[in-house]
Amino acid sequence: MNTAPLQGIKVIDFTSVQSGPSCTQLLGWLGAEIIKIERPGSGDATRNELQFDPDCPSYYFLQLNSGKKSLTLDAATHDGKAILTKLIETADIFVENLHPGAMDKLGFSWEEVHKLNPRCIYGTIKGFPVSSRYANLKAYEPVAQVTAAAASTTGWYSGPDNIPTQSGAALGDSNTGMHLAIGLLAALVQRTHTGEGTYVYQSMHNACLNLCRIKTRDQLTLDKIGYLTQFMQYPNEKFPDYVPRSGNTEGSGVLGWTYKCKGWETDPNAYAYIIFQRGKKDFEKAVEVFGFQDWLTNPDFNTADARDRHKDALIARVQKWILDNDLDKYQVTEKLAPAGVPVAPVLNTKEIMNDQSLYDGNTLVKIDQPGKVGEFVTVGVPFTMSNFQPTYPPCPTLGGNTAEVLKEYGYTDAQIAEFAKNGTTAPLPDGKM
């Protein structure tokens, strides 16, 4: 049995770039039919962004649009509006992420779509919540990160590198898509009770801030006591009245740090992350494997609070132990993990993408794209289901499914040919849109 959870769900996907497409990509891999509306002639901007070959769609596009159907449609034209209206009339979900006000201008606001099809759920992504003073800003990934405390709390806390820093993780883009997917799935369940579609508004700001919740926790603590024990600045430095950057400390109460391992002089990722848990038993096991039994009776180290106050000395001794023993990041992991010490090697992208075990478990999957692209790797559905295994079809060419989709909606060959000539589904010969 391999029943796709979203089998029979039809999604009209008016999204582009990363945030919206990452959402509809997940819905598609879970079995929904995704009809991707693309502007005639140009399509999703990522098709031609960061290309590895001028004749091929970029990996950016390829990694976010597997299995979707591409329908080119100028929704600003009379016929384009009529076609989109028809698509919406039988859709379960309509999703868009145009700049603020653009969808209203095209005539397909939530209110309009709800009138056309009361069962249709409407998902929208914008940079900011409607109540925000920034609600009208266009938004890309860094806009979300810099306004949701991600950048101000990430990076080094002293010296010349003490500048707001971007996370490599797409906290504003794909993370927003995943948040919207949760909202849309909730709306689908809700519809089984109400019979009606709802409006799911997801801002990049809220999605990013949701992942920065622990930084708001830190602000509350700072407001109360003026310091944060898990930070390297504690106990010797004065804290500002806002949460500073935390370097590589662990976000919770356990004491974690990134340690240099064998080869660090030439390999910028020859590091391992090691955590000292707060519990007495865990600490006893850890000191045994390091050979630091003297810490069990040393008041500077024999309680978690004492270790927080002396983390400089703790880190220095662990660091020396690794380098004296000439251990690489994998050996550090192999040595400490059996003693129950939370530890892991810092892995670079090459190491991850060469790890066969990740392909065996479908964390990473290979998509066979016809033509010059051939096989490429992407990250699959990030969770597993015991009774469903997703498949990973290739990505559509621009407008590759236009005729097929229009036929399904009852348009004749003559009408389809006319739409291609009058600027509805293909650019006009003179380039006018």
Ligand X SMILES: CC(C)(COP(=O)(O)OP(=O)(O)OC[C@H]1O[C@@H](n2cnc3c(N)ncnc32)[C@H](O)[C@@H]1OP(=O)(O)O)[C@@H](O)C(=O)NCCC(=O)NCCS
What x/- string results for residues 11 through 40 when contact with ligand X is judged by CB under 6 A? -----xxxxx----------------x-x-
- Interface with ligand X includes 200 (CB under 6 A)? no
Contact between 256 and ligand X (CB under 6 A)?
Answer: no
> Which has the closest alpha carbon to 25: 40, 2, 39, 44?
44
78 binds ligand X, rule: CB under 6 A: no
48 burial level (CB within 10 Å; 0-12, 13-18, 19+): middle
Least gap, CB of 186 to ligand X (angstroms): 20
Closest approach, Cβ 44 to ligand X, in A, equals 9
Name, in order, each residue with C-beta under 8 angstroms of 432's C-beta and a sequence gap of 6 or more: 423
Residue 83's CB is within 10 A of a number of other CB atoms, namely 25
Burial of 122-157, coded b for 16+ CB within 10 Å and e otherwise, reads bbbbbbbeeeeeeeeeebebbbbbebbbbbbbbbeb
Distance between CA atoms of 316 and 310, rounded to whole angstroms? Answer: 10
Shortest separation between residue 38's beta carbon and ligand X, angstroms: 6
47 binds ligand X (CB under 6 A): no
Q: At its nearest, how many Å lie between ligand X and the CB of residue 170?
A: 8
Indicate whether 117 belongs to the interface with ligand X (CB under 6 A): no
Interatomic CA distance for residues 169 and 218, integer angstroms:
21
Which CB, 141 or 218, lies closer to ligand X? 141
Map the footprint of ligand X across residues 143-162, applying CB under 6 A: none
Specify the stretch interacting with ligand X by CB under 6 A; choose among 119-127, 247-255, 276-284, 301-309: 119-127
343: contact with ligand X by CB under 6 A? no
Q: Does 139 bind ligand X (CB under 6 A)?
A: yes
CB atoms within 10 A of CB 187: 20
Q: How far is the CB of 43 from ligand X (least distance, A)?
A: 9
Among 6, 75, 187, 188, binds ligand X (CB under 6 A): 75
Q: Name which of 173 and 308 has its Cβ closer to ligand X.
A: 173
DSSP secondary structure of 279-317: SHHHHHHHHHHHT-GGGGT-TTTSSHHHHHHTHHHHHHH
Does position 74 bind ligand X by CB under 6 A?
Answer: yes
Tell me the sheet residues that pair with 199.
122
308 part of the active site: no
73 touches ligand X (CB under 6 A): yes
Residue closer to ligand X (CB basis): 78 or 99:
99
Return the range that interacts with ligand X (CB under 6 A); candidates 62-70, 136-144, 270-278, 345-353.
136-144
Q: Is there binding between residue 125 and ligand X (CB under 6 A)?
A: yes
Phi/psi for 369 (5° steps) reads -95, 125
* Site size for ligand X (CB under 6 A): 25
183 belongs to the binding site for ligand X (CB under 6 A): no
Question: Quick one: 278 exposed, middle or buried, by C-beta within 10 A (0-12, 13-18, 19+)?
Answer: middle
- Pairing mode, strands 93-96 and 10-14: parallel
Binding to ligand X (CB under 6 A) within 86-105 occurs at 97-99, 102, 105
Minimum CB separation of residue 70 from ligand X in Å reads: 11
Residue 406 C-beta: closest distance to ligand X, Å: 15
Cα(24)–Cα(397) distance, integer angstroms: 17
Q: Taking the alpha carbons of 73, 77, 79, 84 in that order, is the dihedral positive or negative?
A: positive
Sequence-ordered list of residues with C-beta below 8 angstroms from that of 62, at least 6 positions apart, any chain: 367, 369, 373, 376, 378, 395
Interface with ligand X, residue 58, by CB under 6 A: no
Minimum CB–partner distance for residue 138 and ligand X (Å)? 4
20/256 with CB nearer ligand X: 20
Which residue, 135 or 306, is less far from ligand X as judged by CB? Answer: 135
Catalytic residue among 44, 74, 79, 173: 173
- Residue 350 token pair: 């090459």
Q: Give 170 or 287: the residue with its C-beta nearer to ligand X.
A: 170
- Between vectors from CA 247 to CA 245 and to CA 249, what angle results, nearest 5°? 110
Query: Which position among 2, 78, 136, 138 is part of the footprint of ligand X (CB under 6 A)?
Result: 138
User: Rounded to an integer, what distance in angstroms lies between the CA atom of residue 105 and that of residue 45?
Assistant: 20
Toward ligand X, which CB reaches closer, 145 or 277? 145
Name, in order, each residue with C-beta under 8 angstroms of 112's C-beta and a sequence gap of 6 or more. Answer: none
Closest approach, Cβ 123 to ligand X, in A, equals 11
Token pair of 91 as six digits: 């859709």
Just list the catalytic residues: 173
Q: Can you give the binding site for ligand X, defined by CB under 6 A?
A: 16-20, 37, 39, 73-76, 97-99, 102, 105-106, 125-127, 138-140, 173, 204
